[in-house]
Every structure is written in C-alpha cells, then in structure tokens.
C-alpha cells in the first residue's frame, strides 16, 4: 500500500472540520503539510501541536477568494518543501436561504469561497504539478450537488459547479500528469453543520439524532471519515481514479423518495 509519506500537500480550509481532520491525519501519516485558512489562532495552534509531535506542518493565513493569498500558499509549499504533490481544495462556506431570499452579499460570499477559491488554487497549483509531471487535486463538493436541499439554493449550485469544473480540468490537464478527484460528503458532524442548526425549535443533539436515524448506516459522518478517503484518493493507490467523485454519505443517495 502506498501512502502520503513525504508527499507535499496543500489543504485549504484546513483548520476546522474536514480540513482540520485532513491536516492532522496527513501530517501524522508522514506528509509535509501546508494548511491554509482565515483562522489565524486555530491555524497556529494546529501547527504548534503537530510540529510538537515531530510532524511537518506549516500554517498559512489566507483567504481562498483572494488570488494573492492562494498564490502565496502554493509558493510557500514549493519554497519550503521543493514541490507540490497534492492539493485538497476544501475551503467552503454555507448560507441557508431560498432563492427568493438571498442577498447579493451572500451570493458573492458563497460563490467566491466555494467556486472561485477552488478555481484559484487550481490555477496556481496545476502549472507546478505539470512541470513536475505528476500531481493530484481533490475537491470537496457535497451531496448538495445531487440533492435539492430546501433553503440551500446558492450553496447547492456552488457545489454542483465544482463537479463540472473538475471534469473539465481532467480533460485539459490529466494528459500532463495531473489527476482530479472529488469527495462528496453527506451529513458530517462539523462546526459548519452545527452552525446551521441555529434557529431550529430543537437542540442540536436532537436534530442530529433525528438525522442519524434516516441515514442507512444509522449514524452521521465524522470528519475523519472524509479525511481517510481523501488520503487514499491523493495516494498512488488511487492512480486510475480520475475525473470522478466519491460519495461519503452513509447511503443517503440510495434512499427512495417516499
């Protein structure tokens, strides 16, 4: 079995939820990790924790919707570690609203982080990987790309756009050695999900229990479930997986519509 040992990996949105789980798992698996987010305190704490354990992790504070910040993160990986083997384009935000309720500020925030942020990291990472002759970019999409979640119109659209982006990049850049894969999480216990529970008439714990009963595996996902899948997809063991999305939703998509 191959692994992420000595692989240089850039993770966006790497200090919370799925991104934090990936930062920690990858570094502890021997990867050289550059983890990027806007959360300075959390990022510095994760870097200190992992380096204190003897692993290689560098935090880069930046906003994925700002091209200069993204380019600086890619440059940091190459300057510090000499190459860039893999990217997990994971940063994302959520807004709950129907299409009749959204504001332009919310629209631009969701699209700028969820879609533009991925496009920017790919823009700057792909040339590095093509020059090396090898690389892999994994994009976090969502089952929201496949299911019409009530009150999530713009979010769903942003995640569906990522699937089309991934497939187009596959045709353009895989002949030059770069693989593109997606992970599509279902209901994962993350701070983003917890925040979406605000305003309901039930406490979060009851909401989570209700959701878990509806998922065929009878539990919600954990961030580490996604991190383990991403680690595999970025490894050489997944070398023939390209232009595809792996769903991690406990069987939610198999449910009948009644």
| 155 classed as catalytic | yes
Distance CA 73, CA 61 (A): 9
Q: In what order do the strands lie in the sheet with 178-185?
A: 56-61, 32-37, 8-12, 86-89, 135-140, 178-185, 244-248
Tell whether 253 is covered by a domain: no
What CATH number is attached to the domain comprising 45?
Answer: 3.40.50.720
Number of structural domains (the chain) is 2
254 located within any domain: no
pLDDT tens for residues 87-143?
A: 999 999 999 889 999 999 999 999 999 999 999 999 999 999 999 999 999 999 999
pLDDT in tens, 206-236: 777 888 899 999 999 999 999 999 999 999 9
pLDDT of residue 1: 44
Please tell me which residue in 26, 59, 81, 155 is annotated as part of the active site.
155
User: Is residue 211 domain-resident?
Assistant: yes
Residue range 5-34: mean pLDDT, rounded: 97
Q: Are 211 and 204 in contact (CB under 8 A)?
A: no
pTM assigned to the model: 0.94
Q: Are residues 69 and 44 in the same domain?
A: yes
- Claim to verify: residue 163 and residue 78 sit in the same structural domain: yes
Tell whether 145 and 193 lie within a shared domain.
Answer: no
Give the chain's mean pLDDT.
94
Query: Do 29 and 146 have their domain in common?
Result: yes
Quick: pLDDT tens for 145-185: 999 888 899 999 999 999 999 999 999 999 999 999 999 99
> Is residue 2, in this structure, part of any structural domain at all?
no
φ, ψ for residue 88, nearest 5 deg = -110, 100
Q: How confident is the model over 35-46, as a mean pLDDT?
A: 98
Measured between alpha carbons, how far is 216 from 36 in angstroms, rounded to an integer?
34
In terms of domains, do 89 and 136 share one?
Answer: yes
Domain carrying residue 204: 187-220
């Amino acid at each position: 079995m191959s692994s992420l040992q000595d692989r240089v990996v850039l993770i966006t949105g790497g200090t919370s939820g799925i991104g934090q789980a990936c930062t920690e798992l990858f570094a502890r698996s021997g990867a050289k990790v550059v983890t990027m987010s806007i959360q300075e305190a959390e990022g510095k704490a994760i870097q200190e924790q992992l380096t204190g354990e003897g692993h290689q992790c560098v935090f880069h504070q930046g906003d994925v919707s700002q091209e200069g910040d993204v380019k600086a993160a890619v440059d940091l990986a190459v300057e510090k570690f000499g190459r860039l083997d893999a990217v997990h384009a994971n940063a994302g935000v959520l807004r709950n609203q129907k299409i009749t309720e959204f504001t332009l500020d919310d629209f631009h925030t969701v699209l700028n982080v969820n879609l533009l942020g991925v496009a920017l990291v790919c823009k700057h990472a792909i040339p590095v990987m093509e020059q090396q002759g090898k690389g892999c970019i994994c994009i976090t999409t969502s089952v929201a790309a496949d299911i019409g979640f009530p009150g999530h119109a713009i979010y769903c659209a942003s995640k569906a756009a990522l699937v089309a982006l991934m497939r187009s990049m596959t045709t353009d850049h895989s002949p030059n050695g770069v693989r593109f894969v997606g992970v599509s999480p279902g209901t994962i216990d993350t701070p983003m999900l917890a925040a979406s529970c605000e305003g309901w008439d039930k406490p979060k714990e009851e909401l989570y229990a209700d959701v878990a009963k509806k998922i065929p595996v009878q539990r919600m996902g954990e961030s580490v479930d996604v991190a383990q899948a991403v680690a595999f997809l970025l490894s050489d063991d997944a070398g023939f997986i390209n232009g595809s999305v792996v769903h991690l939703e406990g069987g939610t998509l198999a449910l009948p519509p009644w």
